[in-house]
Structure 1
């Protein structure tokens, strides 16, 4: 059994036991296949059970001239996971990448939108169509609650607790959290439910899903990306944005207006507060104002 069979087993493991998305699994697979291509081009006939650190180092050196440090680090991480899986399944005893260090990449600051830009995007939605009411409700929820795109498309009607002012979110690793939802997002969700969703021929398996396409099925992640991209083009926004940009903007605007990191962490569903701390780097002017306003030795 050579590489393909082990890769397929690894893909099944990532999907069934790790519960990873297709996009993530495809990224892992691409990194392994890149290593396979390197071996083929250099006529190195070796199985994943026998390959050693020296050969992996040669591969890393070869790709380092083709990709940036961040991509190189991702490749190393993906291969470590693959060989870690082989150890987990008792196919081999060691990980050939154990001593291989990833290059220093620095932390990329997330792109954000201003409040005016978010307002402009939402105002550009064509509300004469059913999809317009849905899209307005979705973007208000995406920004108002700081959701991941996967959390938005899987949001259920039974997850809405408007009287209490919260929605229940199922995030990474099926971990659940309650996130506050503002009156504006609540209002537009209600409008969508009562004027659009109620008239859809909803598929039985998607009966509890909140945001649906015109055929009554759950929206895909790709559809959300397309909706946002089209709106950005419509208002001639000179930024490359995605659903995640709304999440970043949610966290940034909360921080700028005085929210504490721990609260933001809980709302975003970050397992570690170090992940949330990246937002501290976004507005140094704001941090200076915090010192000037609150530190006892400010002057």
Structure 2
């Protein structure tokens, strides 16, 4: 692996790596990660400027290399989030005279209380910090750097899961009408990207990293190959207007009068990144702009994923098939999406049972309709 032209390791880190597993390879891996993922690089440069002790920074980098290269986590999402969290903890430990290699459960609980008081973020955010730290200390245990995971018994705040939200047909019609009113080239690109989200259940990170090599496209059907969370691969087939939209956009893309990233499916049309692959934040801005034009009060890229799952379920797909297409590790995650499907909402107790215990009779419904609904006996 060749090392791009990246700032050298901070002072003392190279010496700290000498006695650590895979320490010799770290400089090349660090350089490769910093060069390949701008969001990750931005976060880690800030972490390095915090002046962490060399041993802290050395272990932090080795853990992140393990997460992103060995385990296949995305540097731009999990990598930068976990790097920021562990970097914050290591800086706190150093500032409070705590040797992180000897940290106790009480030390970690002090850190968590500090997060609550000083950072003033909610329970969901703090629960994510605890999860990242557990992973870091478990990696130390697995590498033989510690006898046990110091954070194994660390309890984060309980988080009540929020119900999934989907788009209604009326909201989608309004959104696509707003896209159609944009300038022609942008309309072709944005309609294609939005339809792809709706018909494949792609995560926002998966859409942002989509390459031409991931698509198989014929005249009437297509398949997208996705490398999802944890380097898990899946294939999602699609058909209908999204196929036409893809053909239209790819033809327009090939005819753009400026140099483009030939591997990327979606590229920027204007600005300093013109021709480059659209970044994650650009897709957020794209959907947000059209949602605002459509006067949608609530919107989000993730809602397309929920809508994809619920529409499959309403059309009769079984939960296991939906789980596989979504790339969920646990079927319970899939069930959480399907709780807002029309099929789930149609499952309700018959009103006839209420009338039966109340000793009343249904009113306002013809007898033939009540018979058809099974509310009356035909005997």
TM category (shorter chain) comes to 0.7 to 0.9
- CA offset digits 1:76-124 (Å, max 9, x no partner): 1110111122223322222111122333323222232212112211211
**How many residue pairs are counted as aligned between the two chains?**
288
Give 1:168's match in structure 2, choosing from 218, 224, 237: 224
Give 2:320's match in structure 1, choosing from 262, 287, 293: 262
Find the aligned partners of 1:112 and 1:24 in 2 and give their Cα distance. 25
Q: Secondary structure at the match of 1:95?
A: coil
Q: Secondary structure at the match of 2:101?
A: coil
Superposition pairs for residues 24-63 of structure 1, below 5 Å? 24-39=78-93, 44-63=96-115
Tell me, yes or no, if the aligned pair for 2:101 and 2:146 is still in contact at 8 Å: yes
Tell me, yes or no, if the aligned pair for 1:211 and 1:219 is still in contact at 8 Å: yes
- Using the TM superposition, give the Cα deviation of residue 34 of structure 1 relative to its aligned residue in structure 2, in angstroms: 3.3
Find the aligned partners of 2:224 and 2:345 in 1 and give their Cα distance. 35
Tell me, yes or no, if the aligned pair for 2:93 and 2:100 is still in contact at 8 Å: no
- Using the TM superposition, give the Cα deviation of residue 72 of structure 1 relative to its aligned residue in structure 2, in angstroms: 2.3
Tell me, yes or no, if the aligned pair for 1:252 and 1:279 is still in contact at 8 Å: yes
Give 1:212's match in structure 2, choosing from 246, 267, 273: 267
Give 1:104's match in structure 2, choosing from 134, 141, 158: 158
Q: Secondary structure at the match of 1:111?
A: coil
Change (3 A) 1:2 1:177: closer
- Using the TM superposition, give the Cα deviation of residue 292 of structure 1 relative to its aligned residue in structure 2, in angstroms: 6.6
Structure 1 unpaired stretches of 5+? none
Is 1:250 the counterpart of 2:294 in the alignment?
no
Find the aligned partners of 1:254 and 1:186 in 2 and give their Cα distance. 18
Comparing 243-252 and 168-177, the one that deviates more? 168-177
- Using the TM superposition, give the Cα deviation of residue 202 of structure 1 relative to its aligned residue in structure 2, in angstroms: 4.9
- CA offset digits 1:272-299 (Å, max 9, x no partner): 212211023325x742524679xxxx87
Tell me the equivalent position of 1:117. 171
Task: State the TM-score, normalized to the length of structure 1.
Answer: 0.84
Find the aligned partners of 1:282 and 1:192 in 2 and give their Cα distance. 32
Is 1:183 the counterpart of 2:249 in the alignment?
no
Q: Secondary structure at the match of 2:224?
A: strand
Q: Secondary structure at the match of 1:181?
A: strand
Q: Secondary structure at the match of 2:346?
A: helix
Tell me the equivalent position of 2:16. none
Tell me the equivalent position of 2:289. 230
Q: Secondary structure at the match of 1:124?
A: helix
Higher relative contact order (CA 8 A, sep 6+): 1
Find the aligned partners of 2:276 and 2:114 in 1 and give their Cα distance. 45
Tell me the equivalent position of 2:77. 23
Change (3 A) 1:32 1:208: closer
Change (3 A) 1:287 1:64: same
Tell me the equivalent position of 2:4. none
Structure 2 unpaired stretches of 5+? 1-53, 351-373
Tell me the equivalent position of 2:15. none
Comparing 113-122 and 165-174, the one that deviates more? 165-174
Change (3 A) 1:254 1:63: same
- CA offset digits 1:120-150 (Å, max 9, x no partner): 1121124533122111111011111111123
Name the larger-Rg structure.
2
